[in-house]
Structure formats: structure tokens, C-alpha cells
Amino acid sequence: MFSKTEKRVHKAGQTGLASLALLSILSGCVSAERAPVRGGTAPPAAQAANTKVPTRPVPAVVAPARPAITRAPVGLENLIHDQWRLFPGRTGVAIMRVDGGEWVLGRRMDELFPQQSVSKTWVALTVLDMVDQGKLRLDQKVRITRDDLAVFHQPIRDEVIANGSIELSVLSLLEQAIRASDNTANDSLLRTAGGPQAVNSFIARKNLGAIRFGPGERALQSGIAGLEWNQEYAIGRRFYTARDAVPLAARKAALDRYLNDPIDGASPQAIVGALAKLAKGELLSASSTRLMLDIMSRTSSGPNRLKAGVPAGWSFLHKTGTGQVLPPVSTGYNDIGIMTAPDGTRYAVVVMMGSTTASIPQRMTFMQFVSRAVASYHQN
């Protein structure tokens, strides 16, 4: 028999999933993942020479005080476990209540999973920490040339190719890297911050735990594919052509090495802890915290992942990640975010699919189940 709370989730159409077959049926109702908008840079205001931090409303840094709830709902943990064990592949889940007493629950919480573009979060935080220290400015210009272009999703590439080079502000690059998940924007920020060592130093200094960073998009993606990076791969579909020429056995061996020991690996528990610290203003200044949360609240990628399960009246901010595919296996399909209830209580939620044979609709349905279940078990 369902408890009263479980009945509420069942009524929402998600907890009655008794098998993966039924999960697949439900997933047919989910639209295909919408690709981030291409072909543009950040809004004009973000590119102005005298850039200002946006003044639009953003999630609060400090939630209202309330009685502490330090134990995770047993029903929620059971529901997550039941669906997690039915989902094909290796998946990690972590949920943390940030306000009103912290608790954490999940599955495979301490294992390292490929982050892919989730790792852009740590680059952005490193850059904003340097802004707080006076080492960088938001309106500081960064020059980007053809030699700086990366691979896969990079909306600013066409503008760079058309003009030979462009200059964008640090704030504009932050917008592009987080909101649009632009790989060239992210690598440009990484270069400006001082490289992977600067990001790893930030992670260590802020005691974020089991989170790795490195080595940047070009070296990361080419290594996963069994290739050595060549700057020509940044143009058109040359990377795909080169990857297709790699013998299948060699490509599979490279992918397996990456999955077994991901150079950009992070544990779900470390990520929810880092998100909680960000939400509470423990990583950055108040202004930089508001800016980071604001940009994450406008993320355009992954609208049908965790976000689609967040109920009306709640707010949500997040960062997605998507890895390479070697059929029938997809890798690094991730979403991390902060859900905020109408009463101001926040939950950090992480779903990391290291490798799976599930279809995209099935993956999105599982993520939506997680965020919907969190909201259904919310206690004031």
C-alpha cells in the first residue's frame, strides 16, 4: 500500500513505474531534447564594455529559518532506489536538503562519474572567485581566434571564423559557457583563469571534495575518442570525420579507459555539497553568488531533464552535461541543479548517467521522476 505522500507522487503519474517497460511507455510522451540556441553570443548588455551585474530577481542566498529536518524521508529514498535499480547502466543520484536541516540520500553517491559540461560550473566559479579577489574584472575583454576554437557545441565559432578573431567580456563568456554550454567560451575562460591548475586549486581551497577537473574540452574529447588533438578538428565536422576513422576496437578501448577512471570525474555527493555551499553563499561574495545563480537559472540546455519534473511554483537552476556516444552506449548524460520550494527551502539534486543504453526519452523521464519525487516529499 502507498503512504499518503507516495499516493501524491503516484497521482502525478510517475511513482507507479513498476518496470523499465512502463518507464519506456511513459517516456514516449516526452519531447526530444531541445538543442541550445546556436549562432549567437551573449545578449548585447552582457557584451558592453562597462558591464554590470544583472539586477533581475535571483534566488535568495539565505532561506527563512525553520525547524531543522535532519532525516531524509524514508519513502523518498525507497522510491528513488526502486526506479534507480530498474534503470539500465551505471547511474549516480544524490539529493541534499540545503535549508532547515541538511540531509543527503542517493545511490552510488561516492563514486566518480564523468562530468562532461557539468565541469563548466567549476570554471565559472573559479573565474568569479578571481573577480572577488580583484584579479579579473567582469568587463575585462578576452580575445578569441581560430586557434582558440574547441569542439562540439560552440555557437561563437561562426563569428570567430567570419571575423578572424573577436573580443568578448568575461561576463559574456560566463553567460555563453553556463547558459549555452559553449565549449570555446568555456576554454577561453579556463585560459584566462590560468588553466586546469587554477580550477583544481579552487576546488581544493574550497574543500569541495571528490571533484576532478581537466584538461579542457579539446584534449578531453579527443582523448575519449582515441585521438590526439589537431586544431583543424575545430572546423566544421572534421572532428567527427577523424573520430569515424579510428578503428572501433581502439575507440572502445579509449572510451572504456575514460569511463573506468574519468579525468573529469566527480561524485554526486561532492557535487550536491558544492551546490549547497554555492546556494548558501559560502563559495563567493554575495554579488558573485547572485550572478552565478542568475546565469544558471537561465540555462537553455536540458529543458526536459530535471527541470521538466519541477512543479509549478518552484524555481530551478542547473547545469547539464552530455558525453560522447558509441552505440549502443551513451556516456556522461548529466544534470545538476538547485530546486527551490515556494517556502524558500532549497534542494541540491544531481543525476549522473556514466553509461547507459537507455533512450533519450527514458533518460529524461528518469530525471523528471527524481525532481518530481523530491518536490512531492518536501516538508515545510
Which pLDDT score, from 0 to 100, does residue 355 have? 98
* Domain containing residue 144: 4-376
pLDDT tens-digit readout, 266-285: 999 999 999 999 999 999 99
DSSP lists the bridge partners of residue 196 as none
Q: Which residues contact 161 (CB under 8 A, 6 or more apart)?
A: 146, 149, 235
Split into its structural domains, the chain has a count of: 1
Mean pLDDT over 231-259 rounds to 98
DSSP label at residue 231: G
Which pLDDT score, from 0 to 100, does residue 69 have? 83
Mean pLDDT over 144-173 rounds to 97
* Residue 249, burial from CB neighbour count under 10 angstroms (0-12, 13-18, 19+): exposed
* Cβ–Cβ under 8 Å, residues 9 and 376: yes
DSSP label at residue 311: P
Residue 120 has phi, psi (to 5 degrees) of: -60, -25
Upstream peptide bond of 215 is cis (omega within 30 degrees of 0): yes
Query: What residue has cell string 575585462?
Result: 140
Question: In this structure, what C-alpha cell is assigned to residue 47?
Answer: 557584451
Question: Does residue 61 surpass a pLDDT of 70?
Answer: no
Question: Does residue 108 surpass a pLDDT of 70?
Answer: yes
pLDDT tens-digit readout, 327-353: 999 999 999 999 999 999 999 999 999
Which CATH number is 94's domain given?
A: 3.40.710.10
Q: Which tops the pLDDT comparison, 144 or 29?
A: 144
**CA angle, 192 as apex, 190 and 196 as ends, to 5°?**
35
Cα distance between residue 200 and residue 214, in whole Å: 8
Q: Which of 92, 58, 9, 5 is nearest to 269 (CA)?
A: 92
